Amino acid sequence: MAETKFDLLVIGGGPGGYVAAIRAAQLGLKTALVEKEHLGGICLNWGCIPTKALLRSAEVYRNAQHADSYGLKINGLAFDLKKIVDRSRAISKQLNSGVGHLLKKNKVTVFDGFARLLGGGSVEVEKDGKPVDQLSAKNIILATGARARVFPGLEPDGDKIWTYREALIPAEMPKSLLVVGSGAIGIEFASFYLTMGADVTVVEVLDQIMPVEDAEISQFARKSMEQQGMKIHTGTKVKSLKKVKNGIVATLESGGKTSEVTVDKVITAVGVTPNTENIGLDKAGVKLDEKGFIATDEWCKTSASGVFAIGDVAGAPCLAHKASHEAIICVEKISGQKDVHPLDHSRIPGCTYCHPQVASVGLTEKRAIEKGYKVKVGRFPFMGNGKAIALGEAEGLVKTIFDAKTGELLGAHMVGAEVTELIQGYTVAKTLETTEADLMHTVFPHPTLSEMMHESVLDAYGRAIHF
């Protein structure tokens, strides 16, 4: 095996890894990337993108079901599950090919295989359990991602108990479904299957669904989902799953009492586990934090000289856009670029593409108060917005939180149609350290959903016009 030397070697081809490799090549570094399965990683192939394709099909189907309210007639409405799944997979395949093209265009050398650190800047690449290449690099970036967490007694079997992978490619629509966990992944799948006709039950061990979100927004979303027919149990634990002839019997525990629910399928969505096993961390001297993720500093440096880690393997929040941003910061720091800034986690937006959508950036109201801020809070409902009413999407809320002393925008939280697109306005505002005065003086176009962002700011200071 001929040793191949590089300035930078990236292990993992997901949204952190391939972005890091391309940026490094742009900056003139001789760069290689090792990927063991799919370019684009879980996000592109089995996560963010294919789920959004499924949810888009569900959205179109939902709108068609309410065509009469728009003055339209649709007869014989139905769906073809195979075509829905095939469309989702085709989109992932298209984007996977696109990533390969971008890497080739930027002259990144791609190795197909499993990479393992040997220490001292050396990496061994295996394929089908056999060594195929030995590489070396001045700097190595670990971007190995994460996988679905598995709890004892809730082990997926690929048949009746699913992870996100099986949930993305159902052969038939289950009549009933239990979703364990109400984070973004769980709630998105719950929303998809509910819209497509399944009887959906969601179980969350904490006291609110979408636990990272503002409590008021979470409660609004929960009420809407329950009105759609979703059954939601918070403060509840799944004690066991028993396979029976016609499905799964789940034993639930809440407040010391147990109950049972029988369903066709179960989706486990109880978080992720970092992919740190068997990649040679011990040999390279890379340390983990108390949660099992790779410990890094503000520049993504690990405890080992010349070794960096980005994305899910380096800890929460496990989001593709966080991984991509870390990739840029890490590579630009390695290459000696000036004016590089560490990632401010308070400026990372979060989006959940359920119905209704949920999006946020910054501190929740509760967290802001816990941190000692005296806050001003503004709210504006979708039902007060002309564009939302015209769209037939009058269910939603925009909430903004300001430091009463300085006017700093501390957080923004939204639930309703297209809020996953709207949230970036507040994210830019936080990056620019915008105050309430800046937002008040900004002209928002009419008629748009974005006007609600302005009205929410005005409401925080008792100046709302339309509500």
- The pLDDT tens digits for 367-415 are 999 999 999 999 999 999 999 999 999 999 999 999 999 999 999 999 9
How many other β-carbons are positioned within 10 Å of the β-carbon of residue 433?
Answer: 10
Indicate whether 333 and 373 sit together in one domain. no
Indicate whether 261 and 211 sit together in one domain. yes
Q: Does any domain span residue 14?
A: yes
Residue 315 has pLDDT above 80, yes or no: yes
Indicate whether 118 and 187 sit together in one domain. no
**Counting every residue, how long is the chain?**
467
Indicate whether 26 and 83 sit together in one domain. yes
Q: What is the model's pLDDT at position 40?
A: 92
Q: Does any domain span residue 131?
A: yes
Indicate whether 241 and 338 sit together in one domain. no
CB 455 within 8 A of CB 380: yes
Indicate whether 16 and 138 sit together in one domain. yes
Indicate whether 368 and 334 sit together in one domain. no
Q: Does any domain span residue 152?
A: no
Residue 418 has pLDDT above 80, yes or no: yes
38 is catalytic: no
Residue 379 tokens read as 């709210």
Catalytic residue among 66, 101, 345, 446: 446
Indicate whether 265 and 325 sit together in one domain. no
Indicate whether 338 and 253 sit together in one domain. no
Average pLDDT over residues 326-349: 96
Each residue of 126-135: pLDDT tens digit? Answer: 999 899 999 9
Q: What is the model's pLDDT at position 3?
A: 59
Q: What is the model's pLDDT at position 42?
A: 87
Indicate whether 122 and 143 sit together in one domain. yes
From 323, 345, 367, give the residue that closes a domain.
Answer: 345
As for how many domains the chain has, the answer is: 3
What is the arrangement of strands in the sheet containing 409-415, beginning at the earlier edge strand? 350-352, 358-362, 409-415, 397-403, 375-381
Q: What is the model's pLDDT at position 464?
A: 86
Indicate whether 308 and 403 sit together in one domain. no
CB 317 within 8 A of CB 152: no
Residues facing residue 201 across a β-bridge: 178, 231
Residue 182 tokens read as 């109400």
pLDDT band at 286 (very low <50, low <70, confident <90, very high): very high
From 246, 270, 294, give the residue that closes a domain.
Answer: 270
Average pLDDT over residues 148-168: 92
Q: Does any domain span residue 190?
A: yes
Q: What is the model's pLDDT at position 348?
A: 97
Q: Which domain holds residue 223?
A: 161-270
Indicate whether 229 and 336 sit together in one domain. no
Residue 30 tokens read as 């001789």
Assign residue 421 the CATH number of its domain: 3.30.390.30
In three state form, how does the secondary structure of the chain look?
CCEEEEEEEEECCCCCHHHHHHHHHHCCCCEEEEECCCCCHHHHHHCHHHHHHHHHHHHHHHHHHCHHHHCCCCCCCCCCHHHHHHHHHHHHHHHHHHHHHHHHHCCCEEEECEEEEEECCEEEEEECCEEEEEEEEEEEEECCCEEECCCCCCCCCCCCEECHHHHHCCCCCCCEEEEECCCHHHHHHHHHHHHCCCEEEEECCCCCCCCCCCHHHHHHHHHHHHHHCCEEECCCEEEEEEEECCEEEEEEEECCEEEEEEECEEEECCCEEECCCCCCHHHHCCCECCCCCECCCCCCECCCCCEEECHHHHCCCCCHHHHHHHHHHHHHHHCCCCCCCCCCHHHCCEEECCCCCEEEEECCHHHHHHCCCCEEEEEEEHHHCHHHHHHCCCCCEEEEEEECCCCEEEEEEEECCCHHHHHHHHHHHHHCCCEHHHHHCCCCCCCCCCHHHHHHHHHHCCCCCCC
pLDDT band at 153 (very low <50, low <70, confident <90, very high): confident
Each residue of 37-73: pLDDT tens digit? Answer: 999 988 889 889 999 999 999 999 999 999 999 999 9
Q: Does any domain span residue 283?
A: yes
Each residue of 227-269: pLDDT tens digit? Answer: 999 999 999 999 999 999 889 999 999 999 999 999 999 999 9
Q: Does any domain span residue 350?
A: no
Q: Does any domain span residue 211?
A: yes
Find how far residue 105's CA is from the centre of its chain: 28
The contacts of residue 222 (CB under 8 Å, 6+ apart) are 208, 209, 232
pTM, to two decimals: 0.95
Residue 22 has pLDDT above 70, yes or no: yes
Q: What is the model's pLDDT at position 467?
A: 72
Assign residue 212 the CATH number of its domain: 3.50.50.60
Each residue of 76-86: pLDDT tens digit? Answer: 999 999 999 99
Residue 168 has pLDDT above 80, yes or no: yes
Residue 344 has pLDDT above 70, yes or no: yes
From 345, 373, 407, give the residue that closes a domain.
Answer: 345
Residue 1 has pLDDT above 60, yes or no: no
Q: Does any domain span residue 465?
A: no
